[in-house]
Amino acid sequence: MKLPPNMQGMMAQAQKMQAKLQEDIAAIRVEASAGGGTVTVQMDGQKRCLGVKIDPEVAGDTEMLQDLVLAAFNEAHKKVEDESQKKMGGMLGGLGLPPGLF
């Protein structure tokens, strides 16, 4: 089935926009901390952990350390989601789609 010429152009444009969006999301870098900065997590746009910093003062309390690491990871995950949504919203806004569609 052959698409009309304008539809083919729109599909090509959508594919380029999708590739750009994937690049933009992959380039996201966030940092989140918990416990007043005693635990810090760095995460990329694909939600991979890039690094964890732990203040030696909290290393002795295993239970508290586990809670702080969990909180920092959850916050980093939320930040990646927020940044991804911003990038997608900006990209999709240029398509002229009705609000709330995505």
7 occurs within a structural domain: no
57 occurs within a structural domain: yes
> Could you list the residue range(s) of the whole structural domain that residue 57 is in?
47-89
74 occurs within a structural domain: yes
81 occurs within a structural domain: yes
**Of the candidates 14, 27, 8, 28, the residue with the CA atom closest to the CA atom of residue 91:** 14
53 occurs within a structural domain: yes
Q: According to the model, what pLDDT value does residue 74 have?
A: 96
Give the global pTM. 0.72
pLDDT in tens, 48-83: 999 999 999 988 899 999 999 999 999 999 999 999
Q: Is 53 left (phi over 0), alpha (psi -120 to 50) or beta?
A: beta
Angle, in degrees to the nearest 10, between helices 62-93 and 5-26: 150
**Cα 19 from Cα 91, distance rounded (Å):** 11
Number of structural domains the chain divides into: 1
83 occurs within a structural domain: yes
